[in-house]
Amino acid sequence: MFYLKKQELKTDPLQMLSKNWQNTMQQLELKAKDARLKAFYQAGAVAADTALQDICFVALDFETTGLDPVRDGIVSIGLVPLTLNRIHSSKAQSYLVKPRVQLNERSVIVHGITDSAIAQAADLELYIEPLLQALAGKVVLVHHLPIERAFLYHGVMSRLGEGVIFPIIDTLALERGFTQSGLQGWWRSMTAQAKPSLRLADCRQRYQLPAYQPHHAVTDAIACAELFQAQVAQHFSVSTPVGKLWS
């Protein structure tokens, strides 16, 4: 005999999990051993039904030595706190990080951070605490979630012996959703047209946001924050629950 309501039956259990970050964070707090991680998880996550207008966000961007989160490392971190009303670029923070692997030429060309620039920089381990403090209790924004989530997870894992995970809103994933939904998205899929580019600069262009020089961590974080404000203004509302957006 089933007493489950219809609504619950329809709900995808995986989606349920990802939406319930408040719970997840509480569990992670119990499992965490490192004090810095425990403190971070203790700050927790907001409830999934919290309206976007009531949330403090942090836009986050990493520049890395490559694309493999296990072998490559982070070379710079940019973060910018924001709300739906204001991007606090004046409170932006950045860290130059000395990766444990050699800088390769290809990535230096992308982000312009050279050996001499990171000669004085410290290992990621030193920045874990301030970084986690800056993110604690906030909802993190990134453009292309797999990079930031995996690099941070592995970076912390290799230093503390345990990884870190938290709710993130991916502006790229949001944009993919907008471009694939609706009549236009259907038409595109039916006619096998090229998919619209989801690169940060191209997404921004769709909202008439100015072109910025890419691959500078703080600039990219600001760019991501602006994109998010524009996306919310165009596609959601200030009272949209955060659970609809994060993953």
Contact between 171 and another protein per CB under 8 A:
no
Is 86 one of the binding residues for another protein (CB under 8 A)?
yes
User: Does residue 182 come out as left (phi exceeding 0), alpha (psi in the -120 to 50 range) or beta?
Assistant: left
From the list 106-114, 138-146, 158-166, 213-221, the region that binds another protein by CB under 8 A is 213-221
CB-nearer residue toward another protein: 163 or 214: 214
Q: Give 66 or 214: the residue with its C-beta nearer to another protein.
A: 214
DSSP string, 195-216: PPP-SHHHHHHHTTPPP---S-
Give φ, ψ of 147 to 5 degrees. Answer: -60, -60
Whose Cβ is closer to another protein: residue 67's or residue 238's?
238
216 is a site residue for another protein (CB under 8 A): yes
| Contact (Cβ atoms closer than 8 angstroms) between residue 61 and residue 214 | no
Residue 22 · residue 48 · CB < 8 Å: yes
The total of other beta-carbon atoms located within 10 Å of residue 81's CB is: 21
Of 229, 242, 243, 246, the one binding another protein by CB under 8 A: 229
Report the residue from 22, 89, 179, 240 that binds another protein according to the rule CB under 8 A.
89
Least Cβ distance, residue 134 to another protein (angstroms): 14
In the list 61, 72, 170, 226, the residue contacting another protein (rule: CB under 8 A) is 226
In the DSSP assignment, the letter for residue 49 is: T
| Dihedral, 227, 233, 239, 244 alpha carbons, nearest 10 | -50
The residues binding another protein (CB under 8 A) are: 78, 85-90, 92, 94, 207-210, 212-213, 216, 218-219, 222, 225-226, 229-230, 233-234
